[in-house]
Structure 1
Amino acid sequence: MRTLAFNIFFFLATFIYGLSCLICSLIPGRKALMGALKRYTKIMVWGMRRIGGMDIEVRGKANIPASGPVIIASKHQSYGDGFVIFSQFEDLSFVTGDHLEKFWGLKRILTKMNAVVIDSCGGSDSQAKMEKQAAAVRTEGRRLLIFPEGHLSRIGTHHRYRKGVWHLQQDFNCPVIPVANTLGQRWNQSDWAKFTGKAVVEFMEPIQPGLDKEAFMELLQDKIEGQSIALLDLENLGALNPADIGKEEENHVALAKRLAREEKAV
Protein backbone atom coordinates (compact mmCIF):
# COMPACT_ATOMS: atom_id res chain seq x y z
CA MET A 1 0.00 0.00 0.00
CA ARG A 2 2.87 2.39 0.77
CA THR A 3 4.37 1.80 -2.68
CA LEU A 4 1.01 2.41 -4.36
CA ALA A 5 0.39 5.58 -2.34
CA PHE A 6 3.83 6.98 -3.16
CA ASN A 7 3.58 6.20 -6.87
CA ILE A 8 0.19 7.90 -7.10
CA PHE A 9 1.67 10.91 -5.29
CA PHE A 10 4.71 10.88 -7.60
CA PHE A 11 2.70 10.89 -10.83
CA LEU A 12 0.21 13.49 -9.61
CA ALA A 13 2.92 15.84 -8.31
CA THR A 14 4.96 15.42 -11.48
CA PHE A 15 1.94 16.19 -13.67
CA ILE A 16 0.94 19.27 -11.66
CA TYR A 17 4.45 20.69 -11.34
CA GLY A 18 5.25 19.76 -14.93
CA LEU A 19 2.44 22.03 -16.10
CA SER A 20 3.53 24.69 -13.62
CA CYS A 21 7.11 24.58 -14.92
CA LEU A 22 5.92 24.73 -18.52
CA ILE A 23 3.91 27.86 -17.75
CA CYS A 24 6.83 29.37 -15.84
CA SER A 25 9.11 28.70 -18.82
CA LEU A 26 7.05 31.26 -20.75
CA ILE A 27 7.93 33.99 -18.23
CA PRO A 28 11.06 36.01 -19.10
CA GLY A 29 14.13 35.09 -17.07
CA ARG A 30 14.87 31.90 -15.13
CA LYS A 31 13.69 32.89 -11.64
CA ALA A 32 10.06 31.72 -11.90
CA LEU A 33 10.99 28.41 -13.48
CA MET A 34 13.78 27.65 -11.02
CA GLY A 35 11.46 28.51 -8.12
CA ALA A 36 8.85 26.05 -9.40
CA LEU A 37 11.51 23.35 -9.81
CA LYS A 38 12.81 23.96 -6.31
CA ARG A 39 9.28 23.55 -4.89
CA TYR A 40 8.79 20.39 -6.93
CA THR A 41 11.99 18.75 -5.71
CA LYS A 42 11.26 19.69 -2.10
CA ILE A 43 7.75 18.23 -2.20
CA MET A 44 9.12 15.08 -3.84
CA VAL A 45 11.69 14.66 -1.06
CA TRP A 46 8.89 15.22 1.46
CA GLY A 47 6.87 12.48 -0.26
CA MET A 48 9.83 10.11 -0.33
CA ARG A 49 10.19 10.56 3.42
CA ARG A 50 6.60 10.79 4.62
CA ILE A 51 4.77 8.60 2.12
CA GLY A 52 7.51 6.31 0.83
CA GLY A 53 9.05 5.76 4.28
CA MET A 54 12.57 6.56 3.05
CA ASP A 55 14.71 7.84 5.92
CA ILE A 56 16.90 10.16 3.82
CA GLU A 57 20.01 11.65 5.42
CA VAL A 58 22.11 14.27 3.60
CA ARG A 59 25.71 14.47 4.80
CA GLY A 60 28.78 16.57 3.99
CA LYS A 61 27.21 19.83 2.81
CA ALA A 62 30.10 21.65 4.48
CA ASN A 63 32.31 20.25 1.69
CA ILE A 64 30.49 22.40 -0.89
CA PRO A 65 32.18 25.81 -1.43
CA ALA A 66 29.98 28.70 -0.32
CA SER A 67 30.36 30.54 -3.63
CA GLY A 68 31.73 30.19 -7.11
CA PRO A 69 31.35 27.44 -9.70
CA VAL A 70 31.53 23.82 -8.62
CA ILE A 71 30.78 20.52 -10.32
CA ILE A 72 28.69 17.98 -8.40
CA ALA A 73 29.49 14.45 -9.64
CA SER A 74 27.02 11.96 -8.23
CA LYS A 75 26.28 8.27 -8.16
CA HIS A 76 23.11 7.68 -10.18
CA GLN A 77 20.92 4.73 -9.19
CA SER A 78 17.49 6.21 -8.58
CA TYR A 79 15.02 8.75 -9.93
CA GLY A 80 15.23 10.11 -6.39
CA ASP A 81 18.89 11.16 -6.79
CA GLY A 82 18.06 14.29 -8.72
CA PHE A 83 15.24 15.30 -6.37
CA VAL A 84 17.38 15.07 -3.24
CA ILE A 85 20.46 16.78 -4.70
CA PHE A 86 18.55 19.52 -6.53
CA SER A 87 16.61 20.37 -3.35
CA GLN A 88 19.89 21.25 -1.60
CA PHE A 89 20.71 24.18 -3.92
CA GLU A 90 19.09 27.48 -4.82
CA ASP A 91 20.15 27.37 -8.47
CA LEU A 92 21.56 24.20 -9.97
CA SER A 93 22.20 23.38 -13.61
CA PHE A 94 22.72 19.80 -14.69
CA VAL A 95 23.93 17.54 -17.47
CA THR A 96 21.22 15.22 -18.76
CA GLY A 97 20.70 12.74 -21.56
CA ASP A 98 18.91 13.76 -24.76
CA HIS A 99 16.28 11.04 -24.13
CA LEU A 100 14.40 13.58 -21.96
CA GLU A 101 13.81 15.84 -24.93
CA LYS A 102 11.33 13.37 -26.43
CA PHE A 103 8.81 14.19 -23.68
CA TRP A 104 6.33 16.94 -24.49
CA GLY A 105 7.29 20.30 -23.05
CA LEU A 106 10.51 19.06 -21.45
CA LYS A 107 12.75 20.35 -24.22
CA ARG A 108 11.54 23.90 -23.62
CA ILE A 109 11.94 23.57 -19.84
CA LEU A 110 15.46 22.13 -20.17
CA THR A 111 16.48 24.91 -22.55
CA LYS A 112 15.15 27.61 -20.20
CA MET A 113 16.97 26.00 -17.27
CA ASN A 114 20.26 26.08 -19.21
CA ALA A 115 20.48 22.32 -18.77
CA VAL A 116 23.37 20.73 -20.65
CA VAL A 117 21.67 18.15 -22.89
CA ILE A 118 23.92 15.52 -24.49
CA ASP A 119 23.91 12.00 -25.86
CA SER A 120 24.25 10.08 -22.59
CA CYS A 121 26.07 7.26 -24.39
CA GLY A 122 29.08 9.48 -24.90
CA GLY A 123 31.37 10.02 -27.87
CA SER A 124 33.43 12.98 -29.15
CA ASP A 125 30.38 14.81 -30.54
CA SER A 126 28.71 14.55 -27.14
CA GLN A 127 31.80 15.97 -25.41
CA ALA A 128 31.98 18.95 -27.77
CA LYS A 129 28.28 19.71 -27.29
CA MET A 130 28.60 19.46 -23.51
CA GLU A 131 31.53 21.89 -23.44
CA LYS A 132 29.67 24.40 -25.62
CA GLN A 133 26.44 24.29 -23.60
CA ALA A 134 28.30 24.43 -20.28
CA ALA A 135 29.90 27.76 -21.24
CA ALA A 136 26.84 29.74 -20.06
CA VAL A 137 26.83 27.92 -16.73
CA ARG A 138 30.54 28.63 -16.25
CA THR A 139 30.14 32.32 -17.14
CA GLU A 140 27.40 32.76 -14.52
CA GLY A 141 29.40 30.92 -11.84
CA ARG A 142 26.60 28.45 -11.11
CA ARG A 143 26.78 24.88 -9.81
CA LEU A 144 26.55 22.00 -12.28
CA LEU A 145 25.31 18.48 -11.49
CA ILE A 146 26.57 15.58 -13.60
CA PHE A 147 26.10 11.82 -13.31
CA PRO A 148 29.42 10.44 -14.61
CA GLU A 149 27.97 6.99 -15.36
CA GLY A 150 25.59 8.51 -17.88
CA HIS A 151 22.81 6.08 -16.98
CA LEU A 152 20.91 4.80 -13.97
CA SER A 153 22.71 1.80 -12.45
CA ARG A 154 21.13 -0.99 -10.42
CA ILE A 155 21.84 -0.64 -6.71
CA GLY A 156 25.24 -2.14 -5.92
CA THR A 157 26.48 -2.00 -9.53
CA HIS A 158 28.12 0.68 -11.65
CA HIS A 159 28.54 1.65 -15.29
CA ARG A 160 31.77 2.69 -16.94
CA TYR A 161 32.47 6.27 -15.89
CA ARG A 162 32.46 8.80 -18.75
CA LYS A 163 35.34 11.25 -19.04
CA GLY A 164 33.18 14.31 -19.75
CA VAL A 165 33.35 15.28 -16.08
CA TRP A 166 37.15 15.69 -16.36
CA HIS A 167 36.79 17.86 -19.46
CA LEU A 168 34.26 20.01 -17.61
CA GLN A 169 36.67 20.49 -14.72
CA GLN A 170 39.34 21.55 -17.20
CA ASP A 171 36.96 24.14 -18.64
CA PHE A 172 35.58 25.36 -15.32
CA ASN A 173 38.87 25.16 -13.38
CA CYS A 174 36.86 24.45 -10.23
CA PRO A 175 36.48 21.69 -7.61
CA VAL A 176 34.54 18.51 -8.33
CA ILE A 177 32.46 17.24 -5.40
CA PRO A 178 32.00 13.44 -5.50
CA VAL A 179 28.61 12.32 -4.18
CA ALA A 180 27.94 8.82 -2.86
CA ASN A 181 24.43 7.61 -2.14
CA THR A 182 22.31 4.58 -1.34
CA LEU A 183 18.90 5.81 -2.52
CA GLY A 184 18.74 2.86 -4.88
CA GLN A 185 18.10 0.57 -1.93
CA ARG A 186 14.78 2.33 -1.36
CA TRP A 187 13.93 3.34 -4.94
CA ASN A 188 15.98 1.33 -7.43
CA GLN A 189 16.32 3.08 -10.80
CA SER A 190 12.76 3.77 -12.02
CA ASP A 191 11.25 0.62 -10.47
CA TRP A 192 7.63 0.59 -9.30
CA ALA A 193 8.53 -1.05 -5.97
CA LYS A 194 9.67 1.17 -3.12
CA PHE A 195 11.24 0.10 0.19
CA THR A 196 11.31 1.72 3.60
CA GLY A 197 14.53 2.32 5.50
CA LYS A 198 17.71 4.39 5.65
CA ALA A 199 19.16 6.10 2.58
CA VAL A 200 22.23 8.37 2.64
CA VAL A 201 23.41 11.04 0.22
CA GLU A 202 26.95 12.17 1.07
CA PHE A 203 28.84 15.10 -0.44
CA MET A 204 32.53 14.22 -0.08
CA GLU A 205 35.71 16.29 -0.01
CA PRO A 206 36.32 18.07 -3.33
CA ILE A 207 38.80 16.96 -5.95
CA GLN A 208 40.78 20.03 -6.92
CA PRO A 209 41.88 20.82 -10.49
CA GLY A 210 45.31 19.67 -11.63
CA LEU A 211 45.07 15.90 -12.00
CA ASP A 212 45.56 14.28 -15.40
CA LYS A 213 42.59 12.52 -16.95
CA GLU A 214 43.38 8.96 -15.90
CA ALA A 215 44.33 9.85 -12.32
CA PHE A 216 41.22 12.02 -11.94
CA MET A 217 38.84 9.38 -13.30
CA GLU A 218 40.32 6.65 -11.13
CA LEU A 219 40.12 8.81 -7.99
CA LEU A 220 36.55 9.96 -8.74
CA GLN A 221 35.27 6.45 -9.35
CA ASP A 222 37.07 5.02 -6.33
CA LYS A 223 35.62 7.70 -4.05
CA ILE A 224 32.04 7.47 -5.34
CA GLU A 225 31.83 3.70 -5.67
CA GLY A 226 33.83 2.94 -2.53
CA GLN A 227 31.75 5.19 -0.30
CA SER A 228 28.44 4.19 -1.92
CA ILE A 229 29.23 0.57 -1.09
CA ALA A 230 30.41 1.48 2.42
CA LEU A 231 27.09 3.26 3.08
CA LEU A 232 24.90 0.31 2.05
CA ASP A 233 22.47 -0.90 4.70
CA LEU A 234 23.16 -4.64 4.84
CA GLU A 235 20.63 -5.20 7.61
CA ASN A 236 17.72 -3.79 5.60
CA LEU A 237 18.54 -4.70 1.99
CA GLY A 238 15.51 -3.21 0.27
CA ALA A 239 16.13 -3.52 -3.49
CA LEU A 240 19.76 -4.62 -3.03
CA ASN A 241 20.94 -8.06 -4.10
CA PRO A 242 24.25 -8.51 -2.19
CA ALA A 243 25.63 -10.56 -5.09
CA ASP A 244 25.51 -7.41 -7.26
CA ILE A 245 27.82 -5.34 -5.06
CA GLY A 246 30.78 -4.07 -7.08
CA LYS A 247 29.64 -5.41 -10.47
CA GLU A 248 30.28 -3.32 -13.58
CA GLU A 249 27.49 -3.28 -16.13
CA GLU A 250 26.86 -1.52 -19.44
CA ASN A 251 23.55 -0.09 -20.54
CA HIS A 252 22.39 -1.93 -23.67
CA VAL A 253 21.90 1.31 -25.62
CA ALA A 254 25.36 2.55 -24.61
CA LEU A 255 26.88 -0.81 -25.57
CA ALA A 256 25.31 -0.73 -29.04
CA LYS A 257 26.51 2.83 -29.68
CA ARG A 258 30.02 2.10 -28.40
CA LEU A 259 30.35 -0.96 -30.63
CA ALA A 260 29.12 1.06 -33.60
CA ARG A 261 31.71 3.78 -32.93
CA GLU A 262 34.48 1.21 -32.59
CA GLU A 263 33.46 -0.52 -35.80
CA LYS A 264 33.39 2.81 -37.65
CA ALA A 265 36.86 3.68 -36.36
CA VAL A 266 38.39 0.44 -37.70
Structure 2
Amino acid sequence: MQLIRSLLFNIQMYVAMFLLFCWFTPVAIFHRPAAYAAIRTYCRYVRWSAAWMIGLKSEIRGTVPQGELIIAAKHQSFFDIILICSVIPAPRFIAKKELRRTPMLGWYARRVGCVFVDRGKRGKAIQDMVAGVTDPEAPKGQLVIYPQGTRVAAGADKPYKTGVGALYTRLGQTCVPTATNVGVFWPRSAVLRKPGLAVVEFLDPLGPDLSIEEFMAEIETRIETASDALMAEAGFDAPAARAAGRTASAE
Protein backbone atom coordinates (compact mmCIF):
# COMPACT_ATOMS: atom_id res chain seq x y z
CA MET A 1 0.00 0.00 0.00
CA GLN A 2 2.83 2.44 0.83
CA LEU A 3 4.32 1.83 -2.62
CA ILE A 4 1.01 2.71 -4.30
CA ARG A 5 0.70 5.83 -2.19
CA SER A 6 4.28 6.74 -3.13
CA LEU A 7 3.53 6.31 -6.83
CA LEU A 8 0.45 8.52 -6.61
CA PHE A 9 2.38 11.10 -4.63
CA ASN A 10 5.16 11.17 -7.22
CA ILE A 11 2.69 11.61 -10.08
CA GLN A 12 0.77 14.46 -8.46
CA MET A 13 4.04 16.14 -7.48
CA TYR A 14 5.01 16.53 -11.14
CA VAL A 15 1.48 17.50 -12.16
CA ALA A 16 1.59 20.27 -9.55
CA MET A 17 4.98 21.37 -10.89
CA PHE A 18 3.53 21.74 -14.40
CA LEU A 19 0.45 23.63 -13.21
CA LEU A 20 2.46 26.06 -11.08
CA PHE A 21 4.95 26.53 -13.92
CA CYS A 22 2.09 27.60 -16.18
CA TRP A 23 0.67 29.90 -13.50
CA PHE A 24 3.82 31.71 -12.38
CA THR A 25 6.05 31.76 -15.46
CA PRO A 26 4.37 34.57 -17.44
CA VAL A 27 5.13 36.92 -14.54
CA ALA A 28 8.45 35.34 -13.56
CA ILE A 29 9.83 36.03 -17.05
CA PHE A 30 9.78 39.75 -16.27
CA HIS A 31 9.85 39.80 -12.46
CA ARG A 32 12.44 37.62 -10.66
CA PRO A 33 10.68 37.77 -7.26
CA ALA A 34 7.82 35.85 -8.90
CA ALA A 35 10.30 33.06 -9.68
CA TYR A 36 11.26 32.87 -6.01
CA ALA A 37 7.56 32.86 -5.07
CA ALA A 38 6.92 30.00 -7.49
CA ILE A 39 9.75 27.94 -5.99
CA ARG A 40 8.59 28.52 -2.40
CA THR A 41 4.96 27.78 -3.30
CA TYR A 42 5.83 24.51 -5.00
CA CYS A 43 8.16 23.37 -2.22
CA ARG A 44 5.64 24.14 0.48
CA TYR A 45 2.99 22.29 -1.49
CA VAL A 46 5.22 19.20 -1.78
CA ARG A 47 5.87 19.27 1.96
CA TRP A 48 2.14 19.56 2.66
CA SER A 49 1.14 16.80 0.21
CA ALA A 50 3.90 14.49 1.46
CA ALA A 51 2.55 14.77 5.01
CA TRP A 52 -0.95 13.56 4.22
CA MET A 53 -0.37 11.35 1.18
CA ILE A 54 2.62 9.27 2.34
CA GLY A 55 2.90 10.16 6.03
CA LEU A 56 6.20 11.99 5.55
CA LYS A 57 6.15 15.06 7.74
CA SER A 58 8.95 17.60 7.63
CA GLU A 59 10.59 20.12 9.92
CA ILE A 60 13.11 22.93 9.67
CA ARG A 61 15.43 23.42 12.64
CA GLY A 62 17.83 26.23 13.41
CA THR A 63 17.82 29.82 12.20
CA VAL A 64 16.78 30.16 8.56
CA PRO A 65 19.62 31.89 6.65
CA GLN A 66 18.93 35.36 5.30
CA GLY A 67 20.92 37.73 3.14
CA GLU A 68 23.96 36.99 1.02
CA LEU A 69 25.83 33.91 2.30
CA ILE A 70 26.79 30.31 1.56
CA ILE A 71 24.77 27.27 2.63
CA ALA A 72 26.91 24.11 2.65
CA ALA A 73 24.31 21.35 2.79
CA LYS A 74 24.18 17.60 3.16
CA HIS A 75 22.38 16.24 0.08
CA GLN A 76 20.57 12.91 0.31
CA SER A 77 17.60 13.28 -2.04
CA PHE A 78 15.35 15.74 -3.86
CA PHE A 79 13.42 16.27 -0.64
CA ASP A 80 16.22 18.15 1.15
CA ILE A 81 16.18 20.64 -1.76
CA ILE A 82 12.43 20.98 -1.24
CA LEU A 83 12.84 21.69 2.46
CA ILE A 84 15.60 24.26 2.01
CA CYS A 85 13.83 26.11 -0.80
CA SER A 86 10.56 26.20 1.14
CA VAL A 87 12.05 28.63 3.66
CA ILE A 88 15.07 30.57 2.34
CA PRO A 89 14.10 33.78 0.48
CA ALA A 90 16.45 33.82 -2.53
CA PRO A 91 18.01 30.42 -3.30
CA ARG A 92 20.59 29.78 -6.01
CA PHE A 93 22.46 26.53 -6.38
CA ILE A 94 25.71 25.14 -7.65
CA ALA A 95 24.18 22.54 -9.96
CA LYS A 96 25.28 19.89 -12.43
CA LYS A 97 25.17 21.09 -16.04
CA GLU A 98 22.53 18.51 -17.00
CA LEU A 99 19.93 20.40 -14.95
CA ARG A 100 20.12 23.34 -17.36
CA ARG A 101 18.14 21.41 -19.98
CA THR A 102 15.61 19.86 -17.62
CA PRO A 103 12.04 20.97 -18.48
CA MET A 104 10.62 23.56 -16.06
CA LEU A 105 13.29 23.02 -13.39
CA GLY A 106 16.03 24.12 -15.75
CA TRP A 107 14.29 27.37 -16.68
CA TYR A 108 13.72 28.33 -13.06
CA ALA A 109 17.26 27.35 -12.13
CA ARG A 110 18.58 29.75 -14.78
CA ARG A 111 16.12 32.46 -13.76
CA VAL A 112 17.32 32.56 -10.14
CA GLY A 113 20.99 32.47 -11.08
CA CYS A 114 22.05 28.88 -10.46
CA VAL A 115 25.61 28.14 -11.55
CA PHE A 116 26.02 25.04 -13.74
CA VAL A 117 29.24 23.02 -13.67
CA ASP A 118 30.62 19.95 -15.40
CA ARG A 119 31.36 17.58 -12.54
CA GLY A 120 33.50 15.40 -14.79
CA LYS A 121 36.08 18.18 -15.26
CA ARG A 122 37.14 19.05 -11.74
CA GLY A 123 39.59 21.90 -12.40
CA LYS A 124 37.37 23.60 -14.94
CA ALA A 125 34.32 23.02 -12.75
CA ILE A 126 35.88 25.00 -9.91
CA GLN A 127 36.88 27.80 -12.31
CA ASP A 128 33.40 27.94 -13.84
CA MET A 129 31.81 27.83 -10.40
CA VAL A 130 33.84 30.75 -9.05
CA ALA A 131 33.30 32.76 -12.24
CA GLY A 132 29.55 32.18 -12.16
CA VAL A 133 29.17 33.01 -8.51
CA THR A 134 31.26 36.20 -8.69
CA ASP A 135 29.56 37.51 -11.86
CA PRO A 136 28.46 41.04 -10.88
CA GLU A 137 25.21 40.62 -12.80
CA ALA A 138 24.24 37.40 -11.03
CA PRO A 139 21.34 37.58 -8.57
CA LYS A 140 22.28 37.91 -4.90
CA GLY A 141 20.97 35.60 -2.26
CA GLN A 142 21.65 32.33 -0.49
CA LEU A 143 24.13 30.22 -2.46
CA VAL A 144 23.51 26.53 -1.80
CA ILE A 145 26.36 24.12 -2.50
CA TYR A 146 26.70 20.42 -1.72
CA PRO A 147 30.22 19.83 -0.37
CA GLN A 148 30.17 16.17 -1.40
CA GLY A 149 29.24 17.16 -4.94
CA THR A 150 26.17 14.97 -5.35
CA ARG A 151 23.44 13.07 -3.54
CA VAL A 152 24.77 10.65 -0.96
CA ALA A 153 22.63 7.81 0.37
CA ALA A 154 21.92 7.74 4.08
CA GLY A 155 24.89 6.18 5.86
CA ALA A 156 27.14 6.16 2.80
CA ASP A 157 30.70 7.51 2.71
CA LYS A 158 31.75 10.15 0.21
CA PRO A 159 34.60 12.67 0.58
CA TYR A 160 34.06 16.42 0.82
CA LYS A 161 35.29 18.31 -2.25
CA THR A 162 37.43 21.44 -2.14
CA GLY A 163 35.08 23.46 -4.35
CA VAL A 164 33.14 24.71 -1.35
CA GLY A 165 36.40 25.81 0.25
CA ALA A 166 37.39 27.69 -2.90
CA LEU A 167 34.10 29.57 -2.84
CA TYR A 168 34.37 30.29 0.87
CA THR A 169 37.84 31.83 0.57
CA ARG A 170 37.03 33.72 -2.66
CA LEU A 171 33.71 35.20 -1.53
CA GLY A 172 34.65 35.99 2.07
CA GLN A 173 31.10 35.24 3.19
CA THR A 174 29.53 33.54 6.19
CA CYS A 175 28.78 29.86 5.64
CA VAL A 176 25.89 27.96 7.23
CA PRO A 177 26.54 24.19 7.49
CA THR A 178 23.31 22.27 7.02
CA ALA A 179 22.45 18.73 8.08
CA THR A 180 19.61 16.40 7.13
CA ASN A 181 18.13 12.93 7.53
CA VAL A 182 15.79 12.91 4.50
CA GLY A 183 17.56 9.99 2.84
CA VAL A 184 16.20 7.68 5.51
CA PHE A 185 12.67 8.27 4.19
CA TRP A 186 13.19 9.41 0.58
CA PRO A 187 16.04 7.35 -0.93
CA ARG A 188 17.87 8.94 -3.84
CA SER A 189 17.12 6.14 -6.34
CA ALA A 190 13.87 4.52 -5.26
CA VAL A 191 10.15 5.09 -5.79
CA LEU A 192 9.10 4.11 -2.27
CA ARG A 193 8.72 7.00 0.19
CA LYS A 194 8.61 6.05 3.87
CA PRO A 195 6.57 7.75 6.60
CA GLY A 196 8.35 9.61 9.38
CA LEU A 197 9.81 13.02 10.19
CA ALA A 198 12.29 14.43 7.68
CA VAL A 199 14.45 17.22 9.06
CA VAL A 200 16.76 19.86 7.64
CA GLU A 201 18.79 21.60 10.32
CA PHE A 202 20.65 24.88 9.79
CA LEU A 203 23.66 24.76 12.10
CA ASP A 204 25.62 27.60 13.69
CA PRO A 205 27.26 29.74 10.99
CA LEU A 206 30.98 29.90 10.32
CA GLY A 207 32.48 33.35 9.89
CA PRO A 208 34.64 34.24 6.87
CA ASP A 209 37.94 34.24 8.77
CA LEU A 210 39.00 30.56 8.68
CA SER A 211 41.74 29.08 6.55
CA ILE A 212 40.54 26.71 3.86
CA GLU A 213 41.93 23.73 5.82
CA GLU A 214 40.15 24.80 9.01
CA PHE A 215 36.96 25.47 7.10
CA MET A 216 36.89 22.10 5.31
CA ALA A 217 37.54 20.20 8.53
CA GLU A 218 34.91 22.18 10.42
CA ILE A 219 32.05 21.83 7.94
CA GLU A 220 32.62 18.09 7.50
CA THR A 221 32.67 17.49 11.26
CA ARG A 222 29.62 19.63 11.90
CA ILE A 223 27.51 18.38 9.00
CA GLU A 224 28.30 14.68 9.43
CA THR A 225 27.89 14.74 13.21
CA ALA A 226 24.55 16.56 13.05
CA SER A 227 23.28 14.42 10.16
CA ASP A 228 24.18 11.23 12.01
CA ALA A 229 22.27 12.52 15.04
CA LEU A 230 19.21 13.31 12.93
CA MET A 231 19.33 9.88 11.30
CA ALA A 232 19.70 8.23 14.72
CA GLU A 233 16.64 10.16 15.85
CA ALA A 234 14.81 8.54 12.92
CA GLY A 235 15.99 5.07 13.97
CA PHE A 236 18.79 4.74 11.39
CA ASP A 237 22.32 3.80 12.49
CA ALA A 238 24.50 5.76 10.03
CA PRO A 239 27.91 4.72 11.49
CA ALA A 240 26.91 1.05 11.28
CA ALA A 241 25.74 1.50 7.68
CA ARG A 242 29.04 3.13 6.75
CA ALA A 243 31.00 0.33 8.42
CA ALA A 244 28.97 -2.29 6.53
CA GLY A 245 29.57 -0.45 3.27
CA ARG A 246 33.33 -0.34 3.82
CA THR A 247 33.35 -4.07 4.65
CA ALA A 248 31.41 -4.90 1.50
CA SER A 249 33.78 -2.81 -0.61
CA ALA A 250 36.82 -4.53 0.89
CA GLU A 251 35.39 -7.93 0.02
Q: TM-score band, normalised by the shorter chain? A: 0.7 to 0.9
Equivalent position to 1:245, from 231, 234, 242: 242
Residue 191 (structure 1) shift:
1.7
Structure 2 segments unaligned to the other structure (5+ residues)? 247-251
Equivalent position to 1:60, from 55, 59, 62: 62
Q: Write the deviation string for residues 227-252 of structure 1: whole angstroms up to 9, x where unpaired.
A: 11111146644xx7874236889xxx
Q: Which is further off, 169-178 or 132-141?
A: 132-141
1:262 paired residue number: none
Question: In the alignment, is residue 4 of structure 1 matched against residue 21 of structure 2?
Answer: no
- Matched residue pairs, number? 243
Structure 2: distance between partners of 1:108 and 1:12: 17
Q: Is the 8 A contact 2:113 2:138 kept in 1?
A: no
Residues 1:247 and 1:41: Cα distance change in structure 2 (over 3 Å): farther
Residues 1:7 and 1:18: Cα distance change in structure 2 (over 3 Å): same
Residue aligned with 1:199, SS: strand
Q: Write the deviation string for residues 119-138 of structure 1: whole angstroms up to 9, x where unpaired.
A: 23451111111111112479
Residue aligned with 2:206, SS: coil
Residues 1:78 and 1:139: Cα distance change in structure 2 (over 3 Å): closer
Structure 1: distance between partners of 2:85 and 2:189: 18
TM-score of the pair, normalised by structure 2: 0.85
Residue 190 (structure 1) shift:
3.9
Q: Write the deviation string for residues 166-220 of structure 1: whole angstroms up to 9, x where unpaired.
A: 1212222111101111011110114201101122211101111222222211111
Q: Is the 8 A contact 2:132 2:138 kept in 1?
A: no
Equivalent position to 1:14, from 12, 17, 33: 17
Residues 1:95 and 1:21: Cα distance change in structure 2 (over 3 Å): farther
Q: Is the 8 A contact 2:228 2:238 kept in 1?
A: no
Structure 2: distance between partners of 1:118 and 1:247: 32
Structure 1 segments unaligned to the other structure (5+ residues)? 250-266
State the identity as a percent.
Answer: 28
Structure 2: distance between partners of 1:12 and 1:5: 11
Equivalent position to 1:38, from 40, 49, 69: 40
Which AA in structure 2 matches 1:10? Answer: M
Q: Write the deviation string for residues 110-158 of structure 1: whole angstroms up to 9, x where unpaired.
A: 2221111112345111111111111247975421111111111111113
Question: In the alignment, is residue 78 of structure 1 matched against residue 81 of structure 2?
Answer: no
